[in-house]
């Protein structure tokens, strides 16, 4: 039986005295996409931050491919194979595209084959190759999002966390991001996808977890939501 890519049980997270995540439990199977959904303020980004070690957690079991990462520093969690595409992109605007990519580059823990390097990134994203000497801060929003994705891929992660990758992008660029996410899913990469674009998330995800004020309100197969408009409206208020 394959080990889950990520197993979370009893995850509680706090900002100061404010209890924001309450006993979250869910699993992500190896090579699958889990859509982490919910209204604004539901706790999605906090959950991503907790997985990355950016928020202190209590009474939690967090295992990456069977290894506990609870309590590790963000640097250690990253070195163990977790990549992050953060909300707002957070590229280095004063560095070139090339420098943004190479500063993150490293070989994966269990890498087979060439993995993700400059050659693979440029072949997949020719636009970044054309702009490799350009300052990242001068790129369009869509190009910056592609750069943020590629920077995470250059770490050759086993699990990658996407926090609102379609936020603020034009529909054509959202379609490009969706294509990239599908390619990564088909490559066997394990993914957690936080998205406000519900149709995008449900089109890509295998499993779905819906958060509501820091609690798990729903967990199950993505098909159960994809084919049930009424349930989507009930849980998320949109469709």
Q: Is the pLDDT of residue 239 over 50?
A: no
Residue 109 scores a pLDDT above 60: no
In the prediction, which pLDDT does 2 show?
Answer: 67
Q: Is there a single domain that holds both residue 237 and residue 173?
A: yes
Q: Categorize the per-residue pLDDT at 189 as very low, low, confident or very high, splitting at 50, 70 and 90.
A: very high
- Decide if pLDDT at 145 tops 50: yes
Q: Are residues 168 and 149 in the same domain?
A: no
Q: Is 121 helix (H, G, I), strand (E, B) or coil?
A: helix
Q: Which helix (H) or strand (E) holds 97?
A: helix 97-102
Query: Is a pLDDT exceeding 80 seen at residue 78?
Result: yes
Percent of the chain with pLDDT over 70: 95
Summarised one tens digit per residue, pLDDT across range 157-186 is 999 999 999 888 889 889 988 998 999 999
Q: Are residues 121 and 235 in the same domain?
A: no
76 and 3 assigned to the same domain:
yes
Residues 182 and 69 reside in one and the same domain: yes
| pLDDT, average across residues 76-82 | 94
Q: Is 81 left (phi over 0), alpha (psi -120 to 50) or beta?
A: left
Structural domain containing residue 231: 1-81+159-239
**For 238, which DSSP code?**
-
Q: Are residues 212 and 95 in the same domain?
A: no
Task: Check which CATH number belongs to the domain holding 228 and give it.
Answer: 3.40.50.300
| Res 198: pLDDT | 87
Q: How many domains does the chain have?
A: 2
Q: What is the mean pLDDT of residues 223-239?
A: 75
What mean pLDDT do residues 34-44 have? 92
Question: How high is the pLDDT of residue 97?
Answer: 96
State the pTM of this model.
0.89
Q: What is the pLDDT of residue 238?
A: 52
Measured N-to-C along each axis, helices 141-153 and 171-186 cross at an angle, to the nearest 10 degrees, of 10
Average pLDDT for 13-22: 90
**d(C-alpha 227, C-alpha 36), whole Å:** 18
Mean pLDDT, residues 16-33 taken together: 94
Instruction: Find how far residue 230's CA is from the centre of its chain.
Output: 27
pLDDT of residue 61: 92
Same domain, 129 and 173: no
């Amino acid at each position: 039986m394959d080990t889950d890519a990520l197993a979370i049980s009893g995850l509680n997270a706090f900002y100061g005295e404010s209890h924001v995540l309450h006993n979250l439990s869910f699993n992500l199977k190896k090579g699958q996409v889990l859509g982490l959904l919910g209204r604004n303020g539901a706790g999605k980004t906090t959950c991503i931050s907790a997985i990355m070690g950016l928020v202190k957690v209590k009474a939690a079991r967090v295992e990456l491919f069977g290894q506990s990462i609870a309590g590790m520093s963000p640097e250690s969690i990253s070195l163990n194979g977790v990549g992050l595409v953060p909300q707002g992109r957070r590229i280095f605007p004063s560095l070139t595209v090339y420098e943004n990519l190479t500063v993150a580059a490293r070989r994966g823990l269990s890498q087979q084959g060439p993995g993700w390097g400059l050659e693979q990134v440029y072949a997949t994203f020719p636009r970044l190759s054309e702009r490799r000497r350009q300052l990242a801060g001068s790129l369009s929003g869509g190009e910056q999002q592609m750069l943020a994705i590629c920077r995470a891929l250059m770490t050759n992660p086993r699990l990658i966390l996407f926090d609102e990758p379609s936020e603020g992008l034009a529909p054509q660029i959202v379609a490009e991001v969706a294509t990239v996410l599908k390619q990564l899913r088909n490559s066997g990469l394990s993914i957690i996808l936080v998205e406000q674009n519900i149709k995008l998330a449900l089109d890509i995800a295998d499993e779905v977890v819906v958060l509501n004020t820091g609690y798990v309100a729903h967990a199950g197969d993505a098909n159960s939501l994809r084919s049930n408009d009424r349930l989507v409206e009930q849980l998320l208020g949109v469709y």
